[in-house]
Amino acid sequence: MIQNPILKGFCPDPSIIRAGEDYYIATSTFEWWPGVRLFHSKDLQHWEQIPSPLRRESQLNLVGDPASGGVWAPCLSYDGERFFLLYTDVKTKKGRYYNTHNYLIHTADIHGEWSEPVYLNSIGFDPSLFHDTNGKKYLINMVNGFKGVLAQELDENFKPVGEQRKIYSGTELGYTEGPHMYHIGKWYYLIVAEGGTGYEHCVTMARSESLWGPYETAPNNPILTSDQNDAHALQKCGHADLVETSEGEWYMVHLCSRPLNGEKWCTLGRETAIQKMIWDQEGWIHLKSGGRYAGLTAETPTGLSEVPLEDEENGFYDDFDSKILHVRYSSPRADYSLFADCTARPGYLRLRGQESLNSLHHVSLLAVRQQRISCTAQTELEFEPRSPEQLAGLCYMYDAMNFYILGKTVNEEGGAILTLIKSDDGVITDEMEPVPVPAAGAVGLRVEVSEDGTQAVFSYHVENENWRRAGDSLTTKILTDEHCRGFTGACFGLYAHDMMGMAATADFEYFCVETREGERP
């Protein structure tokens, strides 16, 4: 059986393709650089992250983008020769007007470099590319304000041409978004997400004999939704995409969430799960397991041998011995190579301090997403600050307004101290009395997330002393989608700021995130 979620922690809006014997999923990254996470699998069960497609500033500039703006809902597709990726860069998402710029990039080698972007339009978010069986390509476009789904042909340079027609208005479930089109047999099938990307989220299917409609909604609609009464089930299920295996079986990947302890709080943000599907005699698709609720497990595909890849779930350890930073790292808005370096001091990561974490511009934070409800992140820091405006340490954070930092700085008298701060919706408070530490030498920094995921305890150690607890147990509620009204998920990160603009550097000897056994699911 395949255990869900298949992509754990901050991996929403999955788009899946098969290219020969290989399967790929793209997920949203929002304000995090590089843009779009890509995963590769041979068996739909084991997934390995591969380099992101948006790694050049000419393709994506997120500086100044709001939290949970930036890259929304990528659409990955393959026409037998080239891979295509459509994505939105969301510049504003508060207030009445959303500014959502849609682009297309392509490549012949999904593991290599991608093209410069082709600008498509700014009509809505979640653009998707449909390759019809006659070789034509169409842009399938939701309209801002949830005003339905448009289709428009693309020319040979992938520019929209010709008539733009509204083909579907959605159902009474509302918030129609995330469209994906398939031409299977005589039918054009359209899948959309509806209900809004929260606890009412679901997957709607409709079909027509013509791309241009009229579309009839599936009689069993929605084809996937969530059971809000079962605290252990996957919640917020929606935003889906279909794939056919090389053996002719069908699977659907979809967004889901795992709230903590039956509460409606998700530190892991929205994640990706997979379900086996079957077609009925009337030509509608259903969950193979029956009903409309997502399974915590899915039947393994017939005929695909298991190919375990690098196992994401056994935690993460980086000794910074490699000169190239691990594919799992992300940084807020700007490329981490602008401030993070593993060559200056071999065996260490050196961060050059810039603006503070609440900035939407140039922040020196190298992060990995939280993938398990319960885990421990740990590092060792060497940093010799000269001013209270300089700080470096370990972060457990959600976005620019919501985070914890255990870090080293100096007090007004110039004495080195450790400080633990909380930012809750931008309000910063001290969470412990400053702890004097030696001006030079290494300090260990750690954060442990409780078994139920609701509490975090920071600790530190200096020289050969034992670990000591820093402050009280802290709530993780401030690092959830619900509290932050966000779309991402909690992350652990190594951080440095120098608000004097002197680019003070901090060295980290290692960074690890250990996960606990036996966590559900």
Which residues belong to the active site?
A: 13, 177
- Identity of the residue, 312 or 481, whose beta carbon is nearer to ligand 6LW in the bound complex: 481
**CA 235 from centre of chain:** 17
Q: Are 119 and 127 in contact (CB under 8 A)?
A: no
Asked if residue 286 binds ligand 6LW (CB under 6 A), the reply is no
Asked if residue 28 binds ligand 6LW (CB under 6 A), the reply is yes
The distance of closest approach from Cβ of residue 12 to ligand 6LW in the complex, given in angstroms and rounded to an integer, is: 5
How much helix, strand and coil, in percent to the nearest 5, is found in the chain? 5, 50, 50
The distance of closest approach from Cβ of residue 323 to ligand 6LW in the complex, given in angstroms and rounded to an integer, is: 34
Asked if residue 177 binds ligand 6LW (CB under 6 A), the reply is yes
124-163 residues near ligand 6LW, rule: CB under 6 A = 125-126
The distance of closest approach from Cβ of residue 463 to ligand 6LW in the complex, given in angstroms and rounded to an integer, is: 45
Q: Give the SS3 label for residue 311.
A: coil
The distance of closest approach from Cβ of residue 149 to ligand 6LW in the complex, given in angstroms and rounded to an integer, is: 12
Closest residue to ligand 6LW, Cβ-based?
197
Residue type, 274: I
- Distance between CA 364 and CA 359 in Å, rounded? 10
Cα distances (angstroms) measured from residue 182 to each of 28, 86, 219, 348: 21, 16, 18, 48
Q: Are 29 and 38 in contact (CB under 8 A)?
A: no
With CB under 6 A as the contact rule, the residue among 47, 130, 265, 487 that binds ligand 6LW is: 487
Q: What is the H or E stretch that residue 185 is in?
A: none
One DSSP character per residue, 136-158 reads -EEEEEE-TTT--EEEEEE-TTS
With CB under 6 A as the contact rule, the residue among 12, 170, 269, 471 that binds ligand 6LW is: 12
Q: Give the SS3 label for residue 458.
A: strand
- Identity of the residue, 52 or 390, whose beta carbon is nearer to ligand 6LW in the bound complex: 52
| Backbone Cα Rg of the chain | 23
Question: How many binding residues for ligand 6LW (CB under 6 A)?
Answer: 15
Asked if residue 193 binds ligand 6LW (CB under 6 A), the reply is yes
The distance of closest approach from Cβ of residue 142 to ligand 6LW in the complex, given in angstroms and rounded to an integer, is: 8
- Identity of the residue, 215 or 487, whose beta carbon is nearer to ligand 6LW in the bound complex: 487
Strands (E), 160-302: 160-168, 177-184, 187-194, 202-208, 216-217, 235-244, 250-257, 271-279, 285-287, 297-298
- Identity of the residue, 13 or 312, whose beta carbon is nearer to ligand 6LW in the bound complex: 13
How deeply is 259 buried, as exposed, middle or buried, from its count of CB atoms within 10 A (0-12, 13-18, 19+)?
buried
**x-or-dash pattern for ligand 6LW, window 231-260, by CB under 6 A?**
-------xx---------------x-----
Asked if residue 178 binds ligand 6LW (CB under 6 A), the reply is yes
The distance of closest approach from Cβ of residue 445 to ligand 6LW in the complex, given in angstroms and rounded to an integer, is: 32
With CB under 6 A as the contact rule, the residue among 73, 140, 392, 420 that binds ligand 6LW is: 73
- Distance between CA 488 and CA 270 in Å, rounded? 7
- Distance between CA 69 and CA 89 in Å, rounded? 7
- Identity of the residue, 236 or 422, whose beta carbon is nearer to ligand 6LW in the bound complex: 236
Interface contacts to ligand 6LW, rule CB under 6 A: 12-13, 28, 72-73, 125-126, 177-178, 193, 197, 238-239, 255, 487
